[in-house]
Structure 1
Amino acid sequence: MDEMLDEKQDTATLTVKIAQQDPTTVTRAISDAIENVNVLVFDAQGHLIGSAYASSSPTSVSVPVRVSSGCTVCAIANTGSGTYFDGISTLKELKSVVTPAITLATALSSKSNEILYGEATNVTLSSGANTQAVILKRLYSKYTFTITPSSNIAITGYQLCNVPNECYIASGNTNNPTTGFGGLNYDAVATPVYAGTVITVPPYYIYENLAGTNNTLTTAEQRTSVNAPIGSSYLLITARGTGYNAGWTSSYRVYLGGVTNAASPVLDYTNFNINRNFNYQCNIAITGSGATDVRVSYSPTTSTRSNVYFGDATPGTYLYSDGTTGTTTAGKTVVGIVFSNQLSSAEYNAGYKHGYALALADASGIGLTWGPNADAGLTKVTTAADYYNDISSGYDGTFTKGYNKTNSSYPAWQAANNYNVDVSKFPNSGWYLLSMGQFWDICANLGKVDLTSMQTNTSKSLIIYEGSTATTNVNNAIIAAGGAALMINSNYWSSSEHSTTGYVGIFSFDSSRAGVGYIGKDYGYCYVRSVLTF
């Protein structure tokens, strides 16, 4: 009977003119070109009454249909297949179809053309030829972030979290399909950021995320993990205090959505939805540690040293010839390995905001004396606790006392300052002879051992670590950076003056321990390794 009724119905032809939404709405790295189009036409009851597929970048598609009113014309671009919607017989079924799942939202940018969708409703199809325009829109939105820190705050990284890996192809749904959520890889900020500097996070392309609303919220401060609907997307930002603002690290959670109109944005604190085809611009200012803000995970950081300033470098990362830091040797020239982010006041006030880096090779082998057996005018360190606290002697002696590359009276200092690795392309102190406190940080941070119990020891000579772990880890880190290991069972000069009577601090890494002590300035059997401040 249905077939008999169908035969009596009048037939029509519908030409669907295809156009994409103005590409200037969302400037993208992903192409919006229309390579192929599926068209499905449904009557007022939602039954399929015509379909067609056209390839080769069509601008219009001809579809045989039945005469009907109240119809819905749906067009889907870039499925790449004329059979993609085989089996679909109702509008309800079409609206339940989801995109192919992706692992990360950034995978959108790996496709040449992403699926676009458009529909026209309440269309009347008369006998003969009919024409209907359909505007195709993206299933995803573009998110661009700027992050601006205030004075003495360094942004250290960011990550987009809880991103849906699929969405419904047709619009008009009120929630997400059953889907997984993923987080984009954490992006460490290689170049430190300070007040007046803006990080522009590269655009993310995110499938619509209809997470929902919480109608009890009235302020931005209430947009927290406790109040956000399950599956809400957010940007996680990590930062730390530096200089006079040092002593903390924090993670800031900024929930996305909150805008209910694309053309004239309306701020809505209750809304956590990311709508399709929006161009979101999210400007974030980090003005403090957030210690009392429930949106922030705050942790205090401290140092047992006095008059210490925290930089933003990460111990264990590599210092490159352009002044950036990172964790790979590929495509970069590594000039040192970061071993501490604690700076002396003189270095911080001189404009160095990051930390210390260790040279990858010795500046000299044995044979050089430290200098004359006279008082060099540096702060005297007579115990292990003093050794730990002295991170400034090398910088002060080289750049204020003049124990530098031109001063042959101080051979070890001269060799350290003359270390021939070019670091002229970024602000730094230049190479100098490391202090005992800097050696201590090399042992603890690169050696990955806990030396806390030794920091208050009053001995003049001391094994600060028993075992092979510190020595092995320090040298493995240096070798991985492309450098030459520190000499084992040998002494290294430090810049830390022990007394006015001709003694200075020395350190050594042995196969089964690490130690500190002192020796005469005219001793000629110590190696020289340089450091720099940046």
Structure 2
Amino acid sequence: MFSIIMKNITHITYSLSVSFVQISLCLFLASCAGDDISLASQGDEATTMVKLTFCISDGNQTRAITSANENIVSDITVMVFDAEGSLIGSKYVSSVAATSVSVPVTTRSATGCTIYAIANTGSSSYFAGVNTISKLNTMYTTLASADVLESSGSIVGSTGALMIGKASANITTGGANQFAIPLYHQCSKFGFTITPASGVTITGYQLCNVPLSSYITDSHVPVTASVVAGPPAGASSYGNFTAVTDLSQTTALSKTYYVYENLCGSNSNATTQVLRNSSNVPVSASASASYLLVNAKGHGWASAYKIYLGGVTNAATPVTDLTNFNVYRNLNYQCNINLGANGGNGDVRVTYTATVTSGRSNMYMGDATIGNYLYADGSDGTTFKSGQTVGIIYSSELTQAQYNAGCRHGRVMALKNTNNSIYCYWSSSYNSPYTDHSSAGHPYVSDFMTSFADVNSGYDAMSANSSYVANSSNYAWYYCKTYNDGVASKTFVNAPNNVGVWYFPSVGDLWDIMENLGTWTDDQKTTLISQRSSTMGVGNYIIQNLDGTYLNALNSKLSVAGGDQIVPDNGYFWCASEYSSESAMVLRFNSSFVRLNSNYKNGGNYYLRPVLAF
């Protein structure tokens, strides 16, 4: 048993215990006496009968993998290879009872043999065509989704967790031919317990970036942890477990996952617990290291905690290796996470975002970095990448609907305006309200407070009133929905759930773009925060007496990316939020002020800047 204990913790404690899981099952290769020995001639070779005896004491069989049945052996395939790696004997047993069982295997005398025993394939033909160790070592299993191990076992048609045993042997005619072969799991087990402090509520969690494919044998595990060995189905073969959301958990909760090995490498900079965070994930595998995402909130704050798996070696007795981000097969990882009362402030040993919320209700904090470019693979950074840059992240807050749809990171502003940056009307009709707007929970905005609060109208319309959004006569909605960002193969897009789909921004979205991407003095920032809850009516200045430089940094990033700048004095932008059935909201960027206005839906030609949530 090996353990890592993080000490001197201010607000979060995180401990990890790791142990090898060796199945309590004895496998012997035993020769038979008398008539069991076959001496049929094969040139100078003679064949001999050997037997496998299993001592099993597990419960009922089931396909799904749980803590109660993870060690069950339902069927066994045995393969015997000679010193050159050629198959010289094999046997499949379709039913292995929870008692001692003898299995006859015909092979020949040979030295330097390797015996493989593989449990729970569920098929006698699974290894058809495998006549060498090399072929066996290239075989791998693939999951349709990360959850499949829990629901259906290791492979299609399997009878539980795939387990593999291996032994070296010299087989002689008339010899004892008895060898112990321990079985080990192909997958690993990851369990955690999250304990919130008083006043802290756990709102959700998700295990992310786990491989969806794995070699059957361990022949591809690198000798050193620094070497990356991607999943056999390809570098993009990763997935997330289904997110657990909408929790209101104020007491400890526990969960167990089963995952494939993730050989994502190491980073020599992560030499202490303090340095084991997202900044030190192995560069060569920045998108593939596995981590647990935990969402929690307290009074006036919300946090997203990112806790990376790994941290030990895969030696017979694991030892600490904080530089190691690998998740090895057949390890039992147990994590204890204690969430402090202040959102994780002061503890840099895990990557987290601890942010005082904007004050909007029913919002979730993602892990996106405001001001970074978003790339097509879902990652983000400070450098523009031609053909890969989607937009600029302007918020790490997500609405309830966005979170429920699977968004976990934040919201993004497009690099360019819609409609080739040509002015357009909100709609062709003077009286073209968004149908059932008020009854859908999106009341007309009337002042600064209700304007700031509305980050729902634009996104929710895609599902609640998709025909309205898709109507080309409703120009603003239609142009945003059909905006072409020029970036192909965005891996984070999930159109049925509107994840990564461009939409018409509500006034609260544009407010966030202004406040989060603008450059402000401390006094100006204080003014903007106070205006969030102001009852000052539409038509007034959100902020004024500016010197014309507050958009310089944003416009510089847009310019580098070949985007359309937010031009002061001409910066009129339509919003999805409605002031009345006839009028919609407009945000005006001026060199010396930012003003909140409304206008008739067919009475003003203004710009459109689409946004997306991911």
TM-score, length-scaled by structure 1: 0.54
Cα deviation for residue 189 of structure 1 reads 4.2
Q: 2:76 aligns with which of 37, 53, 70?
A: 37
SS at match of 2:193: strand
Cα deviation for residue 283 of structure 1 reads 0.9
**1:107 aligned partner:** 148
Cα deviation for residue 444 of structure 1 reads 3.3
Map residues 255-266 of structure 1 onto 2, 5 A cutoff: 255-260=308-313, 266=319
Q: 1:297 aligns with which of 342, 353, 357?
A: 353
SS at match of 2:124: coil
CA contact (8 A) 1:468 1:511 kept: no
Q: 2:320 aligns with which of 267, 271, 281?
A: 267
2:184 partner letter: K
Distance of 2:507 and 2:268 partners within structure 1 = 49
CA contact (8 A) 1:104 1:184 kept: yes
**1:370 aligned partner:** none
Cα deviation for residue 317 of structure 1 reads 5.7
2:454 partner letter: A
Map residues 125-274 of structure 1 onto 2, 5 A cutoff: 125-128=171-174, 130-174=177-221, 175-179=229-233, 180-193=237-250, 197-200=251-254, 202-229=255-282, 230=285, 231-240=288-297, 242-243=298-299, 246=300, 248-260=301-313, 266-274=319-327
Distance of 1:225 and 1:162 partners within structure 2 = 13
- The 3 A distance-change label for structure 1 pair 315 and 77 is closer
1:140 partner letter: C
Map residues 477-516 of structure 1 onto 2, 5 A cutoff: 511-512=581-582
CA contact (8 A) 1:39 1:76 kept: yes
Structure that is richer in strand per residue: 1
Map residues 301-320 of structure 1 onto 2, 5 A cutoff: 301-303=357-359
- Deviation digits for residues 4-36 of structure 1 (CA, Å, limit 9, x no counterpart): 99421132111122356979xx96255543332
- Deviation digits for residues 475-530 of structure 1 (CA, Å, limit 9, x no counterpart): xxxxxxxxxxxxxxxxxxxxxxxxxxxxxxxxxx9644799xxxxxxxxxxxxxxx
CA contact (8 A) 2:193 2:335 kept: yes
SS at match of 1:232: coil
2:241 partner letter: L
2:243 partner letter: Y
Distance of 1:22 and 1:219 partners within structure 2 = 41
Cα deviation for residue 263 of structure 1 reads 8.5
Map residues 337-416 of structure 1 onto 2, 5 A cutoff: none
Map residues 2-17 of structure 1 onto 2, 5 A cutoff: 6-17=42-53
Cα deviation for residue 298 of structure 1 reads 4.2
CA contact (8 A) 2:87 2:132 kept: yes
Cα deviation for residue 148 of structure 1 reads 2.4
- The 3 A distance-change label for structure 1 pair 64 and 213 is same
SS at match of 2:303: strand
Residue 123 in structure 1 maps to residue 169 in structure 2? yes
**2:129 aligned partner:** 87
- The 3 A distance-change label for structure 1 pair 176 and 117 is farther
CA contact (8 A) 1:214 1:271 kept: yes
**1:412 aligned partner:** none
**2:89 aligned partner:** 50
SS at match of 2:305: strand
Cα deviation for residue 169 of structure 1 reads 0.9
SS at match of 2:104: strand
- Deviation digits for residues 138-183 of structure 1 (CA, Å, limit 9, x no counterpart): 2112111112233444332221111111111123431444231111
**1:72 aligned partner:** 114
Distance of 1:269 and 1:224 partners within structure 2 = 11
SS at match of 1:94: helix
CA contact (8 A) 2:314 2:328 kept: no
- Deviation digits for residues 379-428 of structure 1 (CA, Å, limit 9, x no counterpart): xxxxx87x96xxxxxxxxxxxxxxxxxxxxxxxxxxxxxxxxxxxxxxxx
Cα deviation for residue 275 of structure 1 reads 2.1
CA contact (8 A) 1:119 1:134 kept: yes
Identical-pair percentage? 35
Cα deviation for residue 206 of structure 1 reads 0.5
Distance of 1:459 and 1:75 partners within structure 2 = 75
- Unpaired stretches in structure 2, ≥5 consecutive residues: 1-39, 60-64, 154-158, 222-228, 366-396, 406-438, 441-445, 459-505, 512-530, 541-573, 586-614
Cα deviation for residue 73 of structure 1 reads 0.9
- The 3 A distance-change label for structure 1 pair 183 and 512 is same
- Deviation digits for residues 22-57 of structure 1 (CA, Å, limit 9, x no counterpart): 79xx96255543332211101223222211222222
SS at match of 1:128: coil
1:71 partner letter: C
- The 3 A distance-change label for structure 1 pair 443 and 510 is farther
**2:378 aligned partner:** none
CA contact (8 A) 1:468 1:512 kept: no
- The 3 A distance-change label for structure 1 pair 215 and 286 is same
CA contact (8 A) 2:201 2:248 kept: no
2:262 partner letter: N
- Deviation digits for residues 229-248 of structure 1 (CA, Å, limit 9, x no counterpart): 313211112233x32xx2x4
Map residues 511-530 of structure 1 onto 2, 5 A cutoff: 511-512=581-582
CA contact (8 A) 2:147 2:242 kept: no
Cα deviation for residue 131 of structure 1 reads 3.7
Distance of 1:454 and 1:61 partners within structure 2 = 75
Distance of 1:122 and 1:455 partners within structure 2 = 73
- Deviation digits for residues 290-334 of structure 1 (CA, Å, limit 9, x no counterpart): 567382234443449xxxx9998999769xxxxxxx969xxxxxx
1:54 partner letter: V
**2:25 aligned partner:** none
CA contact (8 A) 2:212 2:231 kept: no
Cα deviation for residue 211 of structure 1 reads 2.4
Cα deviation for residue 264 of structure 1 reads 6.1
- Unpaired stretches in structure 1, ≥5 consecutive residues: 319-325, 329-359, 362-383, 389-439, 472-508, 516-534
CA contact (8 A) 1:36 1:57 kept: yes
Distance of 1:160 and 1:13 partners within structure 2 = 47
Aligned residue pairs total: 349
CA RMSD of aligned residues (A): 4.4
**1:349 aligned partner:** none
SS at match of 2:134: helix
Name which of structure 1's ranges 290-299 and 229-238 shifts more when overlaid on structure 2: 290-299
TM-score, length-scaled by structure 2: 0.48
CA contact (8 A) 1:157 1:189 kept: yes
CA contact (8 A) 2:364 2:400 kept: no
* Larger of the two Rg values belongs to structure: 1
Distance of 1:109 and 1:445 partners within structure 2 = 37
1:212 partner letter: G
SS at match of 1:81: coil
Cα deviation for residue 212 of structure 1 reads 2.8
